[in-house]
Structure 1
């Protein structure tokens, strides 16, 4: 059986780098919300294919590069 690369993407937040600007939750409310201090909470780390463009935009909008999207390691 040939090796197939997973198309699944996951969101990760660097909690040390995050400054709580909130842009990510505004751009991706389907997967993220903010806690009472304005820091993001990931409701689902797995990014559905139909939300991948929105997730990429949220990652790009993070002013401190605290939000990342990558493929899970297997």
Structure 2
């Protein structure tokens, strides 16, 4: 499951530098998450860091249009961060 930043985003700049996959960038109005790069921090942390640092509750949620299993997220992590 990739994550989604909702319109509740206040553009505080807390999430973008914390993303280990560089999946977060500024969109037209607020920050956005690239679903091709988001692994929900699998391979890096136990929980998504963007959700942990976001000061507004329920701003970063599971993207209902991009549901992925933990295995799929691990596969994405391996592609994004090949060994060596």
With normalisation by structure 2, the TM-score equals: 0.53
**CA apart distance, 1:27:** 0.5
Change (3 A) 1:42 1:11: same
**What is the number of residues matched between the two proteins?**
62
Q: Out of 10, 33, 58, which is 1:19 matched to?
A: 10
Q: 1:8-51 CA deviation, whole Å, 9 max, x = no partner?
A: x3201111x111111111111611112476x2122226416324
With normalisation by structure 1, the TM-score equals: 0.59
Alpha-carbon contact 1:31-1:43 (below 8 Å) kept = yes
More strand by share: 1
- The structure 1 segments of at least 4 consecutive aligned residues displaced by more than 3 Å after TM superposition are none
SS in 2 for 1:19: coil
Q: Please, which runs of 5 or more residues in structure 2 have no aligned partner?
A: 69-84
Q: Which protein is bigger by CA-based radius of gyration?
A: 1
Does 2:42 correspond to 1:44?
A: no
Higher relative contact order (CA 8 A, sep 6+): 1
Q: Please, which runs of 5 or more residues in structure 1 have no aligned partner?
A: 1-8
